[in-house]
Copies of this chain bind each other. A is one copy, B any other.
Amino acid sequence: MKTQPIRRERARLPAAERRRQIIEVTTGLIAERGFWGLSMQDVADGCGLTVPGLLHHVGSKDNLLIAVLEHRDETDAATLAAELEVRVDQLWAEGAGITLRQVCAALVRRNAGQPEIVRLFAVLEAESLAPGHPAHRYFRERQRNTREMLASLAPGDDAARFELAGQVIAMMDGLQIQWLRDPASTDLVAAWERAATRLFDAL
């Protein structure tokens, strides 16, 4: 126990800071290899922890995944609100005067600045289609919520709003994959604007 005093001292971060570090390291690893390729040993190594030490902080590998996702959704809502110059609680409030097209443009601008996060979500979104995936339920609810929130900003009757929201999400998801595949020759924001013109002008 006395042989590594400096390392042990360095490793003693405050709990909240340690949690942030664990989430950050895990985010990068999942973006590379997905949840099924995630090794708790690699997370522990990346944080200067042992695996039991890591588990002490996060409980389990499944919990860690959910913590990463919840952290992203919180951070992303804050960034989106800042992009739109509203408070987080106004984001989806009726009467805030924000249009569907404005929200989409803000979402895309935000994502264009964080390719690793978009890759994280792309991998988990696809992996979690399998019912046995620990984020299966999380993503099903997330898809439903996102679509309902976007539909609430769309014009037309309920069926038309729901349909347009689905198409808008599909187009954003698909264009993001194309951008991540070939970032050097794709301008995500411009590609979305052209697609949005096509989608919204047809209304």
Residues of chain A touching chain B, judged by Cβ–Cβ distance below 8 Å, are 31-34, 36-37, 119, 122-123, 125-127, 129-130, 132, 139-140, 143-144, 163, 166-167, 169-175, 177-178, 180-182, 191, 194-195, 198-199, 201-202
A125 x B177 contact (CB < 8 A): yes
Residues of B within 8 A of A36 (CB): 33-34, 36-37
State the Cβ distance, A24 to closest chain B Cβ, in Å. Answer: 17
Q: How far is the CA of A36 from the CA of B133 in the complex (A)?
A: 14
This chain: copies in complex: 2
Q: Give, as a whole number of angstroms, the nearest-CB distance from A39 to chain B.
A: 10
Q: Is B167 in contact with A195, judged by CB distance below 8 angstroms? A: yes
Query: Can you pick out 28 interface pairs between chain A and chain B where the beta carbons lie within 8 Å of each other?
Result: A32-B130, A33-B127, A33-B130, A34-B34, A34-B36, A34-B127, A119-B126, A122-B126, A122-B129, A125-B126, A126-B126, A126-B127, A129-B177, A139-B181, A140-B181, A140-B182, A143-B181, A143-B182, A166-B175, A167-B175, A167-B194, A170-B171, A170-B173, A170-B175, A170-B195, A171-B171, A173-B173, A198-B199
Contact residues in B for A194 (Cβ distance below 8 Å):
163, 167
Question: In whole Å, how far is A61's beta carbon from the nearest beta carbon of chain B?
Answer: 13
In whole angstroms, how far apart are the Cα atoms of A67 and B194 in the complex? 37
